[in-house]
Amino acid sequence: MTDTTTVVAMPSDRSTNFDWGAVIGGALIATALSFVLFAFGSAAGIASVSPYSWNNPSGMTLTIVGAAYVSIVMIGSFLVGGYFAGRYRRPSGAASVEERQSRDGAHGLLMWALALLVGIAVAYWSTAAVVSGASGAAAGAAAVAARSDGVTTALDRMMRINTDPASTAAPQNSRAEIARVLSASALTRGEITNEDRDYVARLVAAEARIAPEEARKRVDGAIEQAKAAADTARKAAAGIAFLIGALSIVAAGAAYWAAMAGGRERDSNVWR
């Protein structure tokens, strides 16, 4: 006697292929889980560093651990959200196994996109709320400073004191003038004219009471250090952006796979 198994098609009462309730639920779960884990990781990172200890982890160690933790949180959160979206979406009627898996994966991708947008929106509005109080008072001063920056630089050049390299008396507010010259020349345009370089070297020589040649070396070294610091910050920002982009793509694949796994678990209970 041969046993036979009859597969009964479950009718679908939906007019669309997408179950938005499962997608939204998975996105909310992924977003909430990631924020909770990020808060826990931030607290652990702050607790691991103490201003009263000489045995704090190095910057490289904190960077590696932080990047690994962010990777685990992002991928893990989207795995959970994708599984939820695939597991709890309503069946697709008499669709084939391949079609059901494709739809499950599509729900995982939709969940990933929605959770990513929600996370970006929450992070943006949270940051805006934190800085809005402080930025209000600083905005007016920053705008005035930005408008007067070119005028201040022009006035500095017109009113420059003809410093004597042999003099040991430094002009008043020489440090503020040096800062303005470096900000307007070396850091903003990426270069400094020989006239500005010589003038700053004379100011440094008078302020530090050193020989002009030594002052010129110090100015050149400070300019190169400032450029190196700016280049390092630029590379770090590019690396962080690349890491976030790569993790987002990997998280999308994880959500797709988890949604199909959740769909298989759903079908094993619905179709038998």
pLDDT tens sequence across 31-41: 999 999 988 98
Mean pLDDT (the chain) is 76
Tell me the whole-structure pTM to 2 decimals: 0.66
For residues 220 and 198, the answer to whether their CB atoms sit within 8 Å is no
For residues 79 and 51, the answer to whether their CB atoms sit within 8 Å is no
Burial class from Cβ neighbours inside 10 Å (0-12, 13-18, 19+) for residue 37 reads middle
pLDDT tens column, 57-96:
777 888 888 889 999 999 999 999 999 999 998 877 677 8
